[in-house]
Amino acid sequence: MSTGSIAGIGTDLLRVERIERIYARHGDRFVRRILGADEQLVHRRRQARDPSRGIRYLATRFAAKEAFSKAIGLGIHMPMTWSRVQVLNRPGGAPEIRLSGPLADWYATRFGRAHVSMTDEADMVAAFVVIEPLPAVADSKESIA
């Protein structure tokens, strides 16, 4: 049973131009630092079809990861790293956050589900993350009964 409480909220607003400049300077090194392996595959496909779509993909993922880091209260400090957070689309298209490595373990002991929403325009992207608290032990027992 959900109590409707929130453990954390994070948001980020970003100019696409900022990501364009960083990508122009660092190219694939920047992509590998920011994106996880599955995100890199999506980025390569989008970049090949239309370079501006590739940049917007980088920008939305960057913003979502910033918003996530704010929502969990870590910023970009261990165990939070860019590539340990992936924002991938479910089959229906809705984005979801997938964690890996030490960040996944750290997160699992502190928080419940993470919800992410992203939007992009030609010059700006935004992301919003809401973190649920861990379900209470009593809630877990109620749902089993």
Could you tell me if residue 116 is inside a domain? yes
Known binding-site residues for Mg(2+) equal 12, 66
Could you tell me if residue 91 is inside a domain? yes
Residue pLDDT tens, the chain, 145 long:
455 689 999 999 999 999 999 999 999 999 999 999 999 999 999 999 999 999 999 999 999 999 999 999 987 778 888 999 999 999 999 999 999 999 999 999 999 999 999 999 989 999 999 999 998 754 554 444 4
Could you tell me if residue 2 is inside a domain? no
Cβ pair 74, 17 in contact under 8 A:
no
The domain tally of the chain equals 1
What is the SS3 assignment for the chain? CCCCCCCEEEEEEEEHHHHHHHHHHHCHHHHHHHCCHHHHHHHHHHHHHCHHHHHHHHHHHHHHHHHHHHHCCCCCCCCCCHHHEEEEECCCCCEEEEECHHHHHHHHCCEEEEEEEEEECCCEEEEEEEEEECCCHHHHHHHHC
Could you tell me if residue 78 is inside a domain? yes
Could you tell me if residue 123 is inside a domain? yes
Taking the complete model, does pTM exceed 0.85, yes or no?
A: yes
Known binding-site residues equal 12, 66
Question: Under 8 Å CB-to-CB from 56, ≥6 apart: which residues?
Answer: 16, 120, 125
Could you tell me if residue 36 is inside a domain? yes
Q: Find the CATH number of the domain harbouring 28.
A: 3.90.470.20
Could you tell me if residue 1 is inside a domain? no
